[in-house]
Amino acid sequence: MNPTTLRYLENFNLLTDEAKVVAALKEEGRDIVILDQTIFYPQGGGQPYDQGMIVSKNAEFLVEEVRFEAGLVRHIGKFQNGLFMSGEMVTCYVNRDRRLLYSRLHSAGHIVDLAVSTYELPWIPGKGYHFPDGPYVEYAGNLEGVDKEKIKVDLEILCNKFIAEARPTTLLFLPKEQLNTVCTFVPDYIPEGKPARVVLFGNFGIPCGGTHVNNLSEINKMTIRKIKQNGANTVRVGYDVVR
């Protein structure tokens, strides 16, 4: 099979789109639909998967989970009625509220990165967890000799300052070896099989394949919940968005 075209990478505002069925499978009692292209975000990069519906003239498929494996996006769920045929055209519908929440959470996590960089803390960005049940970002570093409560307050002020500036989100697609020309930090674990993309909030760039707000003002407001040492050389910054 040819790799799935990832439509959300170039336009994460697409919540409805057409696609062609490549295959409809059944594995371990669950239905799996593979399309030639998709607007559904597969879980990864600390962001949960999209959910929604895929419909044709004669069938409806409830998308409960989305995964990316070996270049293919697997839409996992169950048929509400009917079945898809290979080559059939279908319409995809992404759950709008779920997508918006996860986009806000993901963008807010990168706003923490921007605040940490602006504050000139000597922390190196690590993984992020942008799920609604306690989102956080981690950094290689420590809290020795710092007033973490002051940093917590100052980072929250900076984050909301950037949101109030209503910085627009823009996208760049670059070869991996050029990412450091527009990003302050480029991790070693850029995933294979997907185009290398930079998300820019104003002039601050982050390598990222997730979905985001169009403008930081859409985050509305965010809080820094907690800053703590999480292991010998890891600082975890817990945050949230006002819902």
Domain CATH for 232: 3.30.980.10
Report whether pLDDT(190) > 80. no
Report whether pLDDT(194) > 80. no
**End-of-domain residue from the set 66, 94, 122:** 94
Strands annotated E in the chain? 5-6, 16-27, 30-35, 37-38, 52-55, 60-69, 72-81, 89-94, 124-129, 136-140, 169-173, 197-201, 204-207, 222-229, 234-241
Same domain, 227 and 135: yes
Length of the chain: 243
**End-of-domain residue from the set 94, 127, 143:** 94
Report whether pLDDT(197) > 70. yes
**End-of-domain residue from the set 94, 120, 144:** 94
pLDDT digits (tens, 9 = 90+) for 23-45: 999 988 899 999 999 999 999 99
Rounded-to-integer distance, Cα 92 and Cα 137, Å:
32
Same domain, 12 and 108: no
Q: Number of folded domains in the chain?
A: 2
Full domain range(s) for residue 104? 99-241
Give the pLDDT band (50/70/90) at residue 191. low
pLDDT digits (tens, 9 = 90+) for 129-153: 999 999 999 999 999 988 999 999 9
Q: Give the CATH number, domain containing residue 22.
A: 2.40.30.130
Same domain, 76 and 147: no
pLDDT digits (tens, 9 = 90+) for 39-89: 999 999 999 999 999 999 999 999 999 999 999 999 999 999 999 999 999
